[in-house]
Amino acid sequence: MLLALLCLYIFLLIVLSVYRSKQTKEQNARNFLTASGSASAILCALSLVSTIIGGSATLGIGALAQKIGTAAFWWLGVGAIGLFLHGLWIARAIRSTGACTLPDVLGRLVGNGAKRWSAFIIVVSWVGVVAAQFTALRTLLTDILPSSQGEVLYLLLTVAIVLHTAFGGQKAVLRTDAMQTALLTGGFVSAALWCLTSSSVDWGAIDPIPFNDSFGAWDWLKLALLVGVTYMVGPDIFSRTFAASSSRSASLGAWVGSALLLVFAVIITFLAMSNLSASNPLSGWLSDASVMPSFIKVALALGLVSALAGSADTVLLSAAGIVEKDLLDGDQSSRLRRLIALFGFGAVLLTYQSSDIIGWLLYAYALFVPGVAVPLLVLLLKKQGSVNKRIWLVGAIIGGALGLAGNLTGWPLAIVGVVLSAMFAWFSKTSQMENPSVIPKRENSLK
């Protein structure tokens, strides 16, 4: 039954992408990326949930729960906080710039150098994010199906995801995200309700306090800075804000999505803590040894597959769109489709290099957060004044370099990079009288 339903799922992805491709064939890249700014608040919220509940928020939280217990909740918990703050402070500010990608926002606020720097960092980082989603998908399918079937189905599903994204664009992604959110909600909620009534759950092993000896205040701060900030300032979150029909819809969608994330954080952590003895607490519920009823296993499996597919398509679209719009300065939806295919199939190959889901994501975040997200966040929050382009760019480069060095050495240099890039960004934004280099030409002409 599960194999048949997964094949039907793949078929529906392809059919929807072909249908949407007829509507987006003549569009430029901007409309292809933003769905022409037509998404309602509810559609934005459902798409955000589908995008965020991916490999790290499912299988990754399961593995994390084995190390730090209930504190694994915070992987999504800090994301919910960041997403709420995005709706409160960021959504309206970035929409007012008239941009359609995150680097485009920086280009309008700082200049072309900042745009290209951020585009390069995001593209390099987001290869790891796509690889993380595909790695989780491969791990899941090879765990719940015989190895050969799981491998074949993994390749078929990744091809379907890439084609669906390349042909359908943002309009197709938004609508499949809504469907995927419904599937993952049904799967996770039914599994959690069964666990609540099952005698096989050891309630004594579940500590309801999300802080412990393995995860303290310093660990929370690092997680909030390196993960939570990406929900305030991240290319995938920005893509939903730009796709919204209005600033109000964008903010409301972020707030509803934030509330849903908290619910899922509790459910996923509970499912993981209820099955810690399995090799992976989440996918372990689907094994032959699990006492979970078969029909709930099928619902949970579809929910997990939907979660991973819903994240991968958005990340692919964001990364390829940034290459087209911000690195190539183009506006061709046809070339954008080819870039999506290139990124997608490249990420498939990377999944055979490493199966560390959280590791892939931390690599991406350690580079992106100090090099782009934090210095941009400072600009958006410090609204008054003009920007000294050189100071901002130097700080961003130092932050990104320290994040990369931290990845290579294992030292906490990314946190140092966050602090330094934030300081440079703060001091780069001064009043016009304090920074003569940014005085408008019309004032000079009065002399």
pLDDT (tens digit per residue) in 96-113: 999 999 999 999 999 999
The Cα–Cα gap between 161 and 155 comes to 10
CB-based contact 417:370 (threshold 8 Å): yes
Q: Which percentage of the chain shows pLDDT scores above 70?
A: 93
Quickly list DSSP for 394-444: HHHHHHHHHHHHHHHH-SSHHHHHHHHHHHHHHHHEE-TTT-GGG--HHHH
How much is the pLDDT for 211?
A: 92
Distances (CA, A) of 46 to 25, 131, 160: 25, 23, 21
pLDDT (tens digit per residue) in 134-172: 888 888 888 888 878 899 999 999 988 998 898 888 988
Summarize the confidence of residues 12-31 as an average pLDDT.
72
Please report how many Cα atoms fall inside a 13 Å half-sphere around the Cα of residue 429, on the Cβ side: 18
pLDDT (tens digit per residue) in 35-44: 999 999 999 9
Q: Which percentage of the chain shows pLDDT scores above 90?
A: 59
How much is the pLDDT for 446?
A: 35
Mean pLDDT score of the chain, rounded to an integer?
A: 88
- Helix, strand, coil: what percent of the chain each, to 5? 80, 0, 20
Specify the 3-state DSSP secondary structure of 218.
Answer: helix
User: Please, what are the domains in the chain?
Assistant: 2-370 (1.20.1730.10)
| pLDDT exceeds cutoff 70 at 125 | yes
Specify the 3-state DSSP secondary structure of 168.
Answer: helix
pLDDT (tens digit per residue) in 198-228: 877 777 778 888 899 999 999 999 999 988 9
Higher pLDDT, 292 or 430: 292
> Residues 432, 434, 436, 437: is their CA dihedral positive or negative?
negative
Residue 255: pLDDT band with limits 50, 70, 90: very high
How much is the pLDDT for 136?
A: 85
pLDDT (tens digit per residue) in 348-392: 888 887 666 667 777 788 889 999 999 999 999 987 778 999 999
